[in-house]
Each structure stands twice: as structure tokens, then as C-alpha cells.
Structure 1
Amino acid sequence: MDFQPSIIRESSTMETLEKQLICPICLEMFEKPVVILPCQHNLCRKCANDVFQAANPYWQGRGTMVSGGRFRCPSCRHEVILDRHGVYGLQRNLLVENIIDIYKEEGTRPLKKGNQPMCEEHDDEKINIYCMTCQVPTCSMCKVFGAHKDCEVAPLQNVFQQQKTELTDGIAMLVAGNDRIQAITDQLEQTSKSIEENSRHQKHSLVEKFDSLYAILEQRKEDMLQSITKEQERKVSFINGLIRQYKEHLEGSSKLVENAIQFMDEPGIAAFLINAKKLLQKIIDASRTSHIPKSDEGFENMDQFSMNLELAEETLKNITFGTDDDEMEEEEETEEEDEAEDQANDQQ
């Protein structure tokens, strides 16, 4: 039986995996500890420190008072900003380190006969075949006389190479899957930031619009209060003018009454009769107030300044989110519904 194609396929897969585990600085397989940069690329911590020291020659190392520095990722040129711990503050990539351990272990493990386990059913028989039916390793005696005599079997080396290739492919697939998950995570984080930014923008816009409404209402209130004040001042001025005129008339009448009482004590008949008619005419004129204007009935009312704000209040209560296009669509739908009702009524 020829196993050459499977061996070639396994070698190609292992080479592909090995390329993913090469440090871009030393061009060797990563040496632990492996650190992961913010851009998701990996470096040996020693190589990362070399790059960092070259970019920050005045950084003196851990335990100093110097704050962190920065350097660029050799793979994508993304700027990496470090804290005061330098490269020791970078997170270790334990997944890559575990993959390296598995890769090295699988790549160097030989199939030594002395290390082969023995069959549990036949103590003197080594496990040297694989039962394809039961999916377990077994020995030749089990195939000839034992529990696997009716099963399909294959050489251990064949199954070993096949499962090793499958494991290698699985590791490579896991690494690629992690890259896709990281890309999705980055996209979701960006979406979250966009949601926060858009929310801040909409909140600011909403506050501005309501502030504009407050300003309009405040200005309208001032204008209407001014109108009431002007009418109040006009009416009060008119009434105060009437009060002043009636007081002047009352004062004149009081003096005339006083003079008339004194005139009644006049002892001379001739003198009395000479001035009586003039005084009587003055009394008659003083008793007339028709020349003084009067206020109309209900002059004190200010009912013309009453307001009905039910419609405005209802409109304010129904303020909601939307655009002018949405309002136009709602109006069109309402008109269509009204037309449909009218047509239905005409048919009836």
C-alpha cells in the first residue's frame, strides 16, 4: 500500500502552519514568551524589546522613572504605545505558545518500538494495528483470534499520519478562525463606538431643537405680555383721567355749595336778588356732568387676551422622532384613507 500522497499532504500542511509561527524580526519560530501587539500581530518578547530599544534609545528599562515609549509593528507599521513597563506590559499570547509546543512535540515525536504500549488482552503483544471499525488501536492477536477478528484494520503508521494531518489542519483552521473572530470583534467594537457617537450627536441635536422651541415660546410670551401691558396702561390711563376730571368737578361743586350757603345769609334783599340768578345758574351748570366722558360697560374686561392652548398642548405632547418625509407620507396615507372612505360612502 502506497502512503506517499498523505505524507506529502501532511508535509505541506505543516509547512503552512510553520510559516504562521515565524517571527517577522528574527525570522525564526517564535520563542517564548510570545507577546501580542494591539494590532494583533505577534513577536518574540526579546525581538519586541530589541525593536523597542532601537526606537527608544533613552529608555533605561524596568524599574526606572521614565514613562513608556512607542515603536511600530514590523508587519503593519501600526504604532504601538507602551506604558512605563515597556514590552513587559504587553499581553502574552498563550494560544500561540501552546500551538508552538504542540507543533514541536508532534514534529519531533518518533514511533519507537520500545515505547509502544502493550495490548491489554494479550500481555506479550504490542499494539501494532488500528481497528478502523471500532476506532481503537489493537494488536495482531486481537485481529486474528480476539474481539477485532471481523473488523477492518489498518497499519498504525497510516492512521498516525492521517490523524496527525487532521490535527495539523485543525490547528491551522483554529488559527484562521481566531483571526476571523478578531476581525469580527474589531468590527463590533467599531460599531459600538459609532452607536455612542451617533447617540451623542442626536442628543445634542435634540437639545438644540428643544432649546429653540423654548426660545420661541419665551419670545412669544414676552410679546403677548407686552400686548396685555399696553392695553392695561391705556385703560388705566383713561380711567385715571376720568377720576381726575370728576375730582376737579367735585372740588368745584363743593366750593360752589359753600359760597351758596354763605350767600343765603345775605341781609339785603336787593343785593340777594341781584346775585341770586347768577349763583343759581352756576349751581345748575355744576349739577351737570355730561361734559365728562364715561367708561363703557365692561371696559374693565380683558377677555380679548384669553387663550385656548389645547391644540398646541396636544401638538407638543405628540412631538416624536421623524423627518419631514415621514410626515408627508403619513399625510398622503391619511388622504388616501379619506378618499377610500368617501368612495365607499358614494357606492352605498
Structure 2
Amino acid sequence: MDVQRTGSMVRPPSPMDSLEKQLSCPICLDMFTKPVVILPCQHNLCRSCASDLYDSRNPYRFSGGVFRCPTCRFEVVLDRHGVHGLQRNLLVENIIDLYKQQQEVNSSGNTETTLKPKESKEPMCQEHEDEKINIYCMTCQVPTCSMCKVFGQHKDCEVAPLATVYQTQKGELSNAIDTLVASNGRLQALLNQMEDACRAVQDNAQHAKQGLSERFDLLYAVLEERKTFLLEQIGKEQDKKVASLRALAIRYGERLQASTELTDTAVRALEQGGAAEFLLASKGLISQTKDAAKSSLGQERPEPGFEKMDHFTLATEHVEAVLAKMDFGLISIT
């Protein structure tokens, strides 16, 4: 246990001493400066100190990174937000505020050792070189010194203590950074949604293309099947008419042969030398020849236009118009 010596007396550290030690940053060894971040190992750091430690391990500022806790050497893995992605320890920040308030109350008669503030080189006023910049001009929005307020260019301006404005604007910037980090998270979520949507569009388009190809293949199959059916109808009609004409031609041939034989017989009868022989031969020949001549004039014939196939003409204009206007959605064919 740490002890303190006072003359020859040795006394244990006071509660305030222990609290000061607990509120000290292990990097800068001073009291935590807000915002205070808590690491996954439950140790705390000033966010500015954590940022310096992170930058020393990640000089090229790549997205994400790692560094080790200076207290327990736990490896801290950061995401793309860096140290701004670490959670703030609001409890420690509130304790620091309460501690500082108590120190101010006890500062008049308190002999206990307090933490030294971080040493910093305060800038000097350019107009009054011996004066430190200790106030903030609210009108001109610039830091300045007391002499500038009393005698200088800011004498008619509204001013405020520099520390007050510093803490206010630092808190505003810290809150703005937290808001920006949250906004970046939402943007990343939106980007992920856009990527998922792109993949969904590509998948759905592929399914739509496949479905469209299948529908057209089905149309081709229906048209091909109908074409085969209609060609068969034409073929059947063709075979029927050709068979009828050929049968008629056979009958014509048979009658032509009989008529030719009768003609030859009649010619031979004319060549008979005697009258008696001719009359005997031509007795029935004349009537046969006349009957054959009459029957050839009334011979069976095909109807006019029997050879035409115009009734097999297919009107496709309406279907062609429908196919030409084919589009996605329902198509009504009337």
C-alpha cells in the first residue's frame, strides 16, 4: 500500500489520492481529458492519447488497425472508425467533473496534493506580446487577450472565458464526431443494402431472362406443332385429289383404248371390197361407233377449279401484329 510521510509520521494515502490515481491516464500520466474511452479490457484512456497511440501503430491511416492496452497489453482491434468507434466512458467523465468541483471547493484550505494539469504552451497575443490569450471574442469568433478587450480592437465586442468556450466547442466537436461516426455507420448500412439490392436485381434479371426464353421456346414448339398439322392437311387433300384424277385418267385410258379398237375395226370394214361383205360387217358397227362417239362427249370430268388449293391459305396478319406488339404483361387475343 502506498504511504505518505509527514515529518516523522507515516500516514496512508487519502481517498482523494487514490481517486486521483484511478483518474490518471496511463499514457499521459495526467488526469483524463474528455472524452474518455473505455477499451474492451475495461481500462480507460483519453481519446486523444488513444488516437496518438493508434497513429503510432498505423502511420498510413489504413481503415481499422490494432494497438495494445498500455495497462494490460490486451490487443485492441479497431474497425474502420478508428478510436472514434470506441465507447465513451461517461461514468468516468462524470466522476472527473465531480472531482474537479470538489477540488475547487477545497482549494482554499486544502493541503493535499492535486494532479498537475497538462503542461501546454499557451499562445501569446500578437498585438500585446506579453499578454497570454485568455479570452474568446464571441463577436469576432477569435481568441484574444484581456488587453485587446480593454484597449484593443475587441473593446466593443462580447467576450467569454477562453476555458469555457474551449470546453464548450471541444464538447460540440466531440459530439459532432460521434454523430458523424454514427452517420458513417448508417451510410455503410445503406451501402450494404445497395450491394444486396444489386445482387438481387442481377439474380431476378437472370430468372426473368430464363423464364422469357422458356416462354419463347414454348411458342416455337406450338408453332412448329401447328405447322406440322396444317402441312398434313394439305398433304391429305393433295393425295385425295391426285388419286381421284388418276382414277379418272385410268377410266379415260380404258375408254380410249376401246374407242381405238372400235375405230380400227370400222376402218377395216371400210376397206372391204364387196358391197355384201361391207354390209354384213357394218350392220352393228355403225351403231357402236355412234354410241362410242356420244359417250366420249359426255365423259365424266373434274369440276372447274378442282386443281386449286386456295382454301388452304392461312391468314396470319392478325397474329403477326400481336407478336410484333408483344410486351411484358397480359396479352388479350380477340
Q: TM-score, normalised by structure 1?
A: 0.62
CA distance in 2, matches of 1:12, 1:281: 145
Q: Does the alignment pair 1:174 with 2:196? A: no
2:197 paired residue among 172, 191, 194: 191
Residue 311 of structure 1 corresponds to 318
Task: Work out whether residues 65 and 79 of structure 2, in 8 Å CA contact, stay in contact via their aligned partners in 1.
Answer: no
CA distance in 2, matches of 1:205, 1:258: 78
- CA change 1:27–1:301 in 2 (3 A) is farther
Q: Does the alignment pair 1:248 with 2:270? A: no
CA distance in 1, matches of 2:220, 2:67: 61
Shift of 1:284: 2.6
- CA change 1:323–1:268 in 2 (3 A) is closer
- CA change 1:111–1:145 in 2 (3 A) is farther
- CA change 1:157–1:171 in 2 (3 A) is same
Q: Residue 289 of structure 1 aligns to a residue in which SS?
A: helix
CA distance in 2, matches of 1:232, 1:12: 104
Higher relative contact order (CA 8 A, sep 6+): 1
Q: Residue 283 of structure 2 aligns to a residue in which SS?
A: helix
Shift of 1:266: 2.1
- CA change 1:250–1:285 in 2 (3 A) is same
Shift of 1:295: 0.6
Matches within 5 A, 1:65-214: 96=82, 112=119, 115-214=121-220
Task: Work out whether residues 125 and 144 of structure 2, in 8 Å CA contact, stay in contact via their aligned partners in 1.
Answer: yes
Task: Work out whether residues 65 and 82 of structure 2, in 8 Å CA contact, stay in contact via their aligned partners in 1.
Answer: no
Task: Work out whether residues 148 and 154 of structure 2, in 8 Å CA contact, stay in contact via their aligned partners in 1.
Answer: yes
Partner amino acid, structure 2, of 1:138: T
- CA change 1:180–1:13 in 2 (3 A) is farther
- CA change 1:13–1:293 in 2 (3 A) is farther
CA distance in 2, matches of 1:125, 1:138: 9
Residue 291 of structure 2 corresponds to 285
Q: Residue 282 of structure 2 aligns to a residue in which SS?
A: helix
Shift of 1:178: 1.0
Farther off after superposition, 304-313 or 127-136: 304-313
Shift of 1:43: 5.4
Q: Quick one: percent identity of the two aligned structures? A: 40
Task: Work out whether residues 266 and 282 of structure 2, in 8 Å CA contact, stay in contact via their aligned partners in 1.
Answer: no
Q: Deviations over 1:232-277 (max 9, x none)?
A: 1111111122222222222222232223222322234433322212
Count of aligned positions: 255
Residue 78 of structure 1 corresponds to none
The root-mean-square deviation of aligned C-alpha atoms, in Å, is 3.7
Residue 83 of structure 1 corresponds to none
Partner amino acid, structure 1, of 2:285: L
- CA change 1:27–1:133 in 2 (3 A) is closer
Residue 28 of structure 2 corresponds to none
Partner amino acid, structure 2, of 1:179: G
- CA change 1:245–1:202 in 2 (3 A) is same
CA distance in 2, matches of 1:195, 1:12: 50
Task: Work out whether residues 242 and 292 of structure 1, in 8 Å CA contact, stay in contact via their aligned partners in 2.
Answer: no
Q: Deviations over 1:129-171 (max 9, x none)?
A: 2112211111111011111112222222222222221222122
- CA change 1:222–1:258 in 2 (3 A) is same
Q: Residue 157 of structure 2 aligns to a residue in which SS?
A: coil
Shift of 1:291: 7.4
Gaps of 5+ in 1: 1-10, 37-41, 47-73, 76-91, 101-109, 332-348
User: Which of the two has higher C-alpha Rg?
Assistant: 2
